[in-house]
Amino acid sequence: MGVDVLLGLQWGDEGKGKIVDYLADKYDIVARFQGGPNAGHTIVIGDKKFVLHTIPSGVFRENIVNVIGNGVVIDPITLEKELNTLKGENVSLANLLVAKKAHLILPSHRNLDAASEAAKGKLKIGSTLKGIGPTYMDKTGRNGLRVGDIFREDFLERYQNLKNKHVDLLKLYPPIEFDLEKEEQQWMQSLEALKALKTIDCSYFLNQQLSAGKSILAEGAQGSMLDIDFGTYPYVTSSNTMTAGVCIGLGIAPNKINNVLGITKAYCTRVGSGPFPTELEGEVGEELRKLGHEFGATTGRPRRCGWIDIPQLKYTIMINGVTSLAITKLDILNTFAEINVAENYMINGEPTEDLPYDLQSKEILPLYTTKKGWMSDLEGITDYNSLPQVAKDYLTYLEKQLGVPIDYVSTGPARRSLIIKD
């Protein structure tokens, strides 16, 4: 059966959670492979909206195993809040498993994150201040604490040693308002909720399931353009958000990966700092933000909005090995008489389809093609052929430009607002 991968092709917030929620019942296991509570997957079921930060989006489907993989970094406080919310809605957590090798976010990691970002002034990278970066730094520096460590007899000693290291580092930064003692007390209490979950050796468990003929959907968090190696560095996250990250984040060999479903909005957004070639800073950008309710699921920050970017998408399709596309938020373009698409860039007077090594150091002029808008409501349309012809023309155009078939079209946040293209 193997592993299928679902991930975002832009700067995140592409609507991955909804697609995972729809696809989950076709798989035995949904596994999150990277990132931390800086991600937020919004899922609308009936009249209720759920925002997940750590738990895989398949949790709302019965009899599906959900795995938080070793590539994820976990804040016990955030996790406990998610668990309590789900319990309050009678969502079963019996099939939620946590990798013993997943690293823990300490309160002092969040303190360091906030102090570091504050010290950067105008050079801020747009951190969510969730402690993600410092946690991955300790991971690669071989100082981190992992989920399995909380069951060790010397855990508190290990915790104190790492905290002391952070306290010494904090002396290098101007003081900020952060009640470390209070946060630490809550963190220790939240460990009990983590201890109550079933922990696993992720690589053995998933490979045993594959050998038994089970199918796995690997769920990415942030978008591909935030990948630590291949994104718009340094304005990126601290993990590998692309397909290759599945192997590292779950302990699965590359030859186990089958299909890769890439998610992109019908336009483009970005949260935080960093280059964004097609960004619209005027009325059109504001209209996209208003119609699309473009505010971060984790931070509430307004998202920067712009037109869809073909060179950027071709790049992430290439590095991820995308075999199929899902286009989300097509309905947000309902009222636009004209829709622009960046087909190429002009850099230093030369046209190109390639992303430069350092996006922010180049003066990039997107070269747009204007497509006609459909100017009609897509509410209630569940069949691809029932879409307005102009909308179908837009999707066909995107398929030709990107060279990958569009198999899913989302026309709203609810489960029912999803068109499966035959």
* Interval 52-68: pLDDT, tens: 899 998 899 888 999 99
Per-residue confidence (pLDDT) for residue 98, from 0 to 100: 98
Once rounded to an integer, what is the mean pLDDT over residues 170-195? 94
Per-residue confidence (pLDDT) for residue 406, from 0 to 100: 98
Per-residue confidence (pLDDT) for residue 38, from 0 to 100: 81
Residue 124 is encoded by which pair of tokens? 């801020």
39 has a pLDDT exceeding 70: yes
Per-residue confidence (pLDDT) for residue 126, from 0 to 100: 66
- Confirm whether 13 is a catalytic residue: yes
* Interval 272-310: pLDDT, tens: 889 999 999 999 999 999 999 998 766 678 899 999 999
Its pTM surpasses 0.85: yes
CB 267 within 8 A of CB 11: no
Catalytic, out of 4, 13, 138, 309: 13
Per-residue confidence (pLDDT) for residue 271, from 0 to 100: 87
d(CA 341, CA 339): 7
395 has a pLDDT exceeding 70: yes
Could you say which DSSP state residue 181 is in?
H
125 has a pLDDT exceeding 80: no
| Residue 229: band (very low, low, confident or very high) from pLDDT cuts 50, 70, 90 | very high
Q: Which residues of 201-229 are buried (b: 16+ CB within 10 A; e: fewer)?
A: ebbebbbebbeeeeebbbbbbbbbbbbbe
- Confirm whether 53 is a catalytic residue: no
Per-residue confidence (pLDDT) for residue 124, from 0 to 100: 67
Neighbours of 147 (CB within 10 A): 24
Q: Which residue has the higher pLDDT, 76 or 39?
A: 76
List the one residue out of 277, 170, 214, 179 whose CA is nearest residue 26.
214
| Residue 363: band (very low, low, confident or very high) from pLDDT cuts 50, 70, 90 | confident
β-partners of residue 370 are 340
Once rounded to an integer, what is the mean pLDDT over residues 310-336? 97
| Residue 416: band (very low, low, confident or very high) from pLDDT cuts 50, 70, 90 | confident
Burial, 9: exposed, middle or buried (Cβ in 10 Å; 0-12, 13-18, 19+)? Answer: buried
Residue 123: C-alpha distances to residues 117, 127, 280, 376, 406 (Å) = 8, 11, 22, 43, 38
Q: Which residue has the higher pLDDT, 416 or 4?
A: 4
Cβ-Cβ contacts under 8 Å for 88 (sequence gap 6 or more): none
70 has a pLDDT exceeding 90: yes
Burial, 283: exposed, middle or buried (Cβ in 10 Å; 0-12, 13-18, 19+)? Answer: exposed
Once rounded to an integer, what is the mean pLDDT over residues 194-218? 97
* Interval 86-107: pLDDT, tens: 999 999 999 999 999 999 999 9
* Interval 248-260: pLDDT, tens: 999 999 999 999 9
CB 289 within 8 A of CB 302: yes
Per-residue confidence (pLDDT) for residue 415, from 0 to 100: 80
Residue 27: C-alpha distances to residues 208, 209, 259, 350, 356 (Å) = 15, 12, 13, 47, 38
List the one residue out of 219, 339, 199 whose CA is nearest residue 268.
339
Catalytic, out of 41, 103, 109, 166: 41
3 state SS of 235: coil
Helix (H) / strand (E) element for 43: namely strand 41-45
Query: Beta strand pairing status for 304-306 and 418-420?
Result: unpaired
